[in-house]
Amino acid sequence: MIKSKKRFYVAATSILASCLILGLKWIAYALTDSTALKSDALEGVVNVVAGMFALGAIFYAEQPADKEHPYGHGKVEYFSAAFEGGLISLAAVLIIYEAIHGLLFPIKLTNMDMGLAINVLGGVLNGLLGWFLITQGRALNSEAISADGHHIITDFITTIGMTIGLLLVRFTGMTWIDPVIALLIGLSLARTGYKLVGKSSSALIDAQDSDQLEAVVAAINQVKTDDIITIHELRSMKSGRHTHVDMHIVVPEFYDIRRAHDFVENFGEKVLRSAGIDGEVHSHIDPCYRLYCRFCKIGILDNSQVCPIRKEGFQAEREITVLEAIKSDGEEFTTLDKKKVAGPT
């Protein structure tokens, strides 16, 4: 609940700050008639609208799971990020249009000193806001806040480049530099919008996150006990800040159901804590089929229990790899191997 309120406050702060920064940018443009400053102001409009959409998405994403949405409402944050990417792309088209118009019909710039000073102030505030949103987005596991922060940081970097270019205009009098800068800003924004839409779309269709898989496997290796022989069928799905992890856990075949269930349940909770993931683990228990004896230490280092079905001695301990963890059930063994060991013990 505390994190939920904080996400809401962060998003609201972003909107208020973006409105202030937008006001500064439009004043700078009105003073100078600069095409580049107009493009910066148009991007400011995107920041405000995207911030409002993100606020609504965060509020909706916090609603608890229900019958219609058993995995919660977190994916709406990816819609928010995709919407922001679309807005950025639209702004890019408008800016490129204005830049081409400025190249064909040059305009004399006025009040450059005052306009640049005001825009630099707005740019500095933008940089601070972007840094704040990125750090809070990571801490609060909010895709909408993180996406907003990365876009604003891009805006800040753009402002730096634009300011350098307009200083050249100020001291050289070459006004054609102004629309060229606007054109570069538009192209840069188009790239940002494309990447943001692509990333959000991948999340919406449940594309696997390789970084997250590596984090989960690292946590598995860190917390697993001798009872966890190996993992396969590992899958993960993010729904906003919530992550769902599915895995098949191979345990010694002679364990009874209660014993296997209890330590597997505890194991899943430990994995989430170790990986720093807010979510849940759904696990399926598989018997070892005596296929992993050379990697299994049950009854080797602990004399309190002896494996009654071991086929070969323990050879070496190993870490579970991502490749092994994502394999299908028994994929690394042939059907014939399974048939040989699946009979009565």
Q: What is the pTM of this model?
A: 0.59
Q: What's phi and psi for 236, nearest 5 deg? A: -140, 150
pLDDT above 70 covers a percentage of the chain that reads 84
- Separation of alpha carbons 339 and 281, rounded Å: 30
Mean pLDDT of 177-181: 86
Domains of the chain, by residue range, sit at 2-204, 210-341
At 323, list the tokens.
């490749």
pLDDT for the residue 341: 42
Kindly tell me if the per-residue pLDDT of 165 is higher than 80.
yes
Residue 1's Cβ-count burial label (10 Å; 0-12, 13-18, 19+) is exposed
In tens, the pLDDT along 267-295 reads 888 888 888 877 788 888 888 888 888 88
Select the CATH number that applies to the domain covering 210-341 from these four: 3.40.30.10, 3.90.180.10, 3.30.70.1350, 3.40.50.720: 3.30.70.1350
pLDDT above 90 covers a percentage of the chain that reads 4
- Separation of alpha carbons 148 and 10, rounded Å: 11
Q: 285 vs 8, which has greater pLDDT? A: 285
- Separation of alpha carbons 21 and 34, rounded Å: 17
pLDDT for the residue 344: 40
pLDDT for the residue 200: 73
Q: 253 vs 66, which has greater pLDDT? A: 253
Nearest to 277 by CA among 74, 8, 14, 132: 74
Q: What is the mean pLDDT of the chain?
A: 79
Mean pLDDT of 139-151: 76
| pLDDT confidence tier of residue 13, bands split at 50, 70 and 90 | confident
In tens, the pLDDT along 238-254 reads 766 677 888 898 888 88
pLDDT for the residue 338: 44
- The CATH code belonging to domain 2-204 is 1.20.1510.10
In tens, the pLDDT along 70-128 reads 666 666 777 777 777 888 888 888 888 888 888 888 878 888 889 889 988 998 998 99
pLDDT for the residue 333: 46
pLDDT for the residue 305: 62
pLDDT for the residue 337: 44
Q: 306 vs 87, which has greater pLDDT? A: 87
- Separation of alpha carbons 155 and 252, rounded Å: 56
Q: What's phi and psi for 220, nearest 5 deg? A: -60, -50
